[in-house]
A and B are shown apart, each in its own frame.
Chain A
């Protein structure tokens, strides 16, 4: 009989350590905070589910969550169709392809806080090109005071920053459709709309699923750009979940409620991602 060789554990150890340090241990620390109270001095008292109850019942959390869902909804509703439309309009061959791809990749390469700062200045009513322009055209536009203006600027910034991702994914998906499909459609006398509806859209299904998932998760977690742009204001008009979370954790130093809120936040993202994925892949099962 062979004696079991336990040395193989050493080969697995690096991965276990890596995962432990960058995922499990921080997450467990958050779980730990979420069920305890502290008044400093590194002294902790067990509180059970009190913080979870408090977060779930607070109007502040509910409002931040509503704002977050609204933001993600608007952003997805604009970016996905717009991204597909741009991808359809992009050239398929020649020098134009490289030019378009570079242009599209550019916003994705700019650091988040720089994007926030750019739009912060761009939209300022007294010196920014967009803000001053709008005011010169007769619109009263001041995102530091008007909630609607702040939302418009925030959404415009995110659309500018992230639509390219959808474009690039959709473009890759479109390029993967064999020519024979288009040729057959021309022979069959299909209209432009029929080609989109019956060839391009079905073939794009999988990349669009990825695009929607990525954009959902990223927009649901948006922090840096929004903080630099509006800081959550005016008032609390643009205080999204992540901004609120940071205010509670680092502003007020309420570690317990902040930890409980993080976990709820995390579970919401997990749940909604699973829901998206299940709904969009349901057809394949049968």
Chain B
């Protein structure tokens, strides 16, 4: 078990990456500090560098620049086997010719553990994952989720690993089993208290699994925080629209001489201060649909469509060429064609060049 620290970690798949060209880099200048025993998620769209980051931590890749530390130990130059880390991949990897038991025992036997200890560990993990009944059967005959359980099992079976890394482990699993395995993982995490890093592009998976979610975009960390922080105070417009459904409304605004943001001429009260400094940058007002209300005065809009998703309705409104979405509770009346919207000031923020103004 270990605390994981990444220092100015950069990686490029090119032979000679150019320092000034962002496109040459898969990851750029990453600094992260993960506590021992925490549950972390790396969240971001495909191609944002999540898997690269994971492989750098496990040692499958060597970083172009920067260091990886487990506790105080610098492991940057070490091979995966020496780093003592477990990793579970997107597609189930099982050793076809072995039984389920031998599959789970493989990482232990490779490290020369005594057979009695191997037996004990494997039986314990098999029980946790409900693999007990199939221990003696050939791994090749199992279903996709059975195989992925074996992969998870091989990750969990070693008692001394520094961390367990998951690379979208539930992608190939059926939806109803996905839910079960996900809660199983969460339960295991709380039981064994090992540092776990979970890579996914699915916000539900990330938010349910992790204490701390790291949102990545184009090779950089845009925000690292608890699910609540990501929801209520997105540090970047990307976090705003990637997390939440529907995503955050982003409306272009101008900062007037008094430092007040104006959207299409309407002054908007926000939680951001010191806005005068943001003048001259590309500024936007960000507000989640949850924090937009129907009002008697405010920003005049036309209502375009209503999507009933059960407990709430998503209302799409339009002011000029700008669309604003809001959530309206069941039973609340929605004006026929036109009305006014107001934003909840503590949850409304100004973003300058994409980044939140505090």
Contact = CB atoms under 8 A, between A and B. Distances in A.
B136 to A, nearest CB: 14
Given A180-B91, A183-B87, A183-B89, A188 B96 contact: no
B93 A184 contact: yes
Nearest to B84: A189
Contacts of A203: 96
Given A186-B80, A187-B86, A190-B106, A178 B91 contact: yes
Interface string B46-64: 0000000001001010000
Interface in A225-252: none
Given A178-B91, A187-B80, A202 B96 contact: yes
A183 B60 contact: yes
A175 interface: no
Contacts of B80: 183, 186-187
A70 B183 CA distance: 61
Contact of B95 (A178, A180, A191, A199): A199
B97 A198 contact: yes
Interface string A167-202: 000000000001011011011111100100011001
B90 interface: yes
Contacts of A198: 95, 97-98, 106
Interface centre among A183, A188, A191, A194, by most chain B C-beta atoms within 10 angstroms, is A188
A183 B60 CA distance: 7
Contact of A186 (B81, B91, B95, B98): B81
A189 B89 contact: no
B154 interface: yes
A194 B85 contact: no
Contacts of A190: 106, 110
Contacts of A191: 110
B59 to A, nearest CB: 8
A208 to B, nearest CB: 14
A109 to B, nearest CB: 34
Q: How large is the interface on B (under 10, 10 to 19, 20 to 34, 35 or more residues)?
A: 20 to 34
A167 B280 CA distance: 65
A254 to B, nearest CB: 51
Interface centre among B55, B80, B91, by most chain A C-beta atoms within 10 angstroms, is B80
A188 B60 contact: no
Contacts of A183: 55, 60, 80, 87, 89
Contact of A180 (B85, B93, B107, B110): B93
A187 B58 contact: yes
A167 to B, nearest CB: 23
B1 to A, nearest CB: 17
Contacts of A180: 89-91, 93
Interface in B62-86: 79-81, 85-86
Contact of B93 (A181, A189, A194, A202): A181
B111 interface: yes
A156 B96 CA distance: 36
B249 interface: no
A187 to B, nearest CB: 5
B206 to A, nearest CB: 22
Contacts of A186: 60, 79-81
29 contacts: A178-B91, A180-B89, A180-B90, A180-B93, A181-B93, A183-B55, A183-B60, A184-B87, A184-B89, A184-B151, A184-B154, A186-B80, A186-B81, A187-B60, A187-B81, A187-B85, A187-B86, A188-B106, A188-B107, A188-B154, A190-B110, A191-B110, A194-B110, A198-B98, A198-B106, A199-B95, A202-B95, A202-B97, A203-B96
Interface of B: 55, 58, 60, 79-81, 85-87, 89-91, 93, 95-98, 106-107, 110-111, 151, 154
Interface of A: 178, 180-181, 183-184, 186-191, 194, 198-199, 202-203
> Nearest 5 pairs between A and B by C-beta?
A184-B93, A189-B110, A188-B107, A189-B81, A180-B89
